Amino acid sequence: MEWIYILLMALASSLMVIIYLVTKLYKVSEQLSIIEDSLVDIKKGNWNRRVLVNENDITKTICYSINDIAMKSQTQLIQLKQSEQAYKRLMTSLSHDVRTPLTSLVGYLEAVQKKFVTGKEKEEYLEIALNKAHHLKGFVEVLFDWVKLDAKEQVFKLEEQDINEFTRDILVNWIPTFEEEHFEYKIDISDKECFIRLDPNAYIRIVNNLIQNVIAHSEGTRIDLQISENEQNVMVQVSDNGKGISPNDLPHIFDRLYQSDESRSTNGNGLGLAIARELVHLHKGTIHAQNSLYGGTAFIVKLPKVL
């Protein structure tokens, strides 16, 4: 009788194995149909679609790979779209930034040409028109710089420089402007030498753009320039006692062509800070702005001592 017993046992266990396999198979086929659905969706362009799996599913690695591919394609697609949008924004913004001074320039010149103004007033109109034309020229130059920077065409040559001495040299040229614009200035730079590697032209641009920004936008009466150092970095700080920057705008001021509505179309072109940031990044440094508790804004450039 024993063999019947054994046979039954074998039968029962093989039945169990079969049931187990069938359920497993059923589960896998269910998963495959989910995968198929998702792939159809992804193929249609929904790169956000994910296939969810459990820890011990057979299809786990396949699903994870599908998700990974979808995610990476999505990221690339979004980056492309973003640069496209940025380009469009640049174009609209540019057309405004060029159009406004140009229109008013035309206004002045027409008035002169049609002899609405004469004598001294005419001279004045011509001078204003010329100033506006210079301003536009400056804008176009800055714009080309930016485009070159953006396309990474400009070549940078880093050389050892005493940043303290070098900054002082740059600032000397600014003093007449400070006086003209009625800015009190305080310069706090150590006499000690502090050599770091930088591209002189780029560094001049960074400092100039930051100061230019203070003069054009801060509405302050005082500008402080300070250089300090620690073991790893040199910090260049340009601060003012002006109106400060609204917290809503603060995260965006280094984005190219970002200008808060009020400052739009007065002075500047919204490229200065973007260029400064780009140049700082080429020195592997960081730049940020913060509002001071006592009013005004501080721009802080941090450059690494060892590049």
Partner 1 sequence: MTKYTIETKQLTKIYKDQKAVNNVNIHVKKGRIYGLLGRNGAGKTTIMKMILGLTSTSSGEVDVFGKNIKGREKQVYPRIGAIIETPGFYPNLTGTENLNIFAKLRGTSAPNAVKNALEIVGLPYKDKKLFGEYSLGMKQRLGIANAILHDPELLILDEPTNGLDPIGIAEVRDFIKKLSVERGKTILISSHILTEISLLADDIGIIDNGILLEENSMEELKRKNGKYILLQVSDAAKASLILERQFGLKSYSVKDDHTLQIYNNSLDMASVNKALILGDVSVISSQLCNDTLEDYFRKITGGDGIA
- List residues binding partner 1 (CB under 8 A): 37, 44-55, 57, 63-64, 67-68, 71, 74-75, 77-78, 82, 96, 99-100, 102-104, 106-108, 110-111, 248, 261-266
**What is the amino acid identity at position 249?**
D
Residue 25 Cβ, how far from partner 1 at the closest point, in Å?
A: 19
Q: What is the DSSP letter of 224?
A: E
CB-based contacts of 231, cutoff 8 Å, min separation 6: 305
- Provide the token pair at 180: 């003209």
Residue 265 Cβ, how far from partner 1 at the closest point, in Å?
A: 4
Query: Exposed, middle or buried by CB within 10 Å (0-12, 13-18, 19+), for 279?
Result: buried
Indicate the residue among 164 and 259 with the shorter CB distance to partner 1.
Answer: 259
Indicate the residue among 68 and 184 with the shorter CB distance to partner 1.
Answer: 68
Residue 130 Cβ, how far from partner 1 at the closest point, in Å?
A: 15
In angstroms, the Cα distances linking 250 to 31, 277, 287 are 48, 14, 12
CA dist 288 and 2 (Å) reads: 86
Residue 48 Cβ, how far from partner 1 at the closest point, in Å?
A: 4
Residue 100 Cβ, how far from partner 1 at the closest point, in Å?
A: 4
CB-based contacts of 52, cutoff 8 Å, min separation 6: 63
Indicate the residue among 14 and 73 with the shorter CB distance to partner 1.
Answer: 73
- At 159, give phi and psi (nearest 5°): -140, 155
Indicate the residue among 212 and 239 with the shorter CB distance to partner 1.
Answer: 212
In angstroms, the Cα distances linking 148 to 69, 91, 212, 257, 279 are 34, 16, 21, 16, 12
Question: Which secondary structure element, helix H or strand E, spans residue 235, and what is its range?
Answer: strand 233-240
Indicate the residue among 54 and 173 with the shorter CB distance to partner 1.
Answer: 54
Short-list 251, 172, 262, CA closest to 211: 172
Q: What angle do CA 174, 277, 100 make, to 5 degrees?
A: 70
Give the chain's radius of gyration (CA, Å): 32
Residue 213 Cβ, how far from partner 1 at the closest point, in Å?
A: 17
Residue 104 Cβ, how far from partner 1 at the closest point, in Å?
A: 4
- At 273, give phi and psi (nearest 5°): -70, -35
CA dist 253 and 270 (Å) reads: 8
Indicate the residue among 237 and 260 with the shorter CB distance to partner 1.
Answer: 260
Indicate the residue among 63 and 142 with the shorter CB distance to partner 1.
Answer: 63
Residue 192 Cβ, how far from partner 1 at the closest point, in Å?
A: 38
Indicate the residue among 12 and 251 with the shorter CB distance to partner 1.
Answer: 251
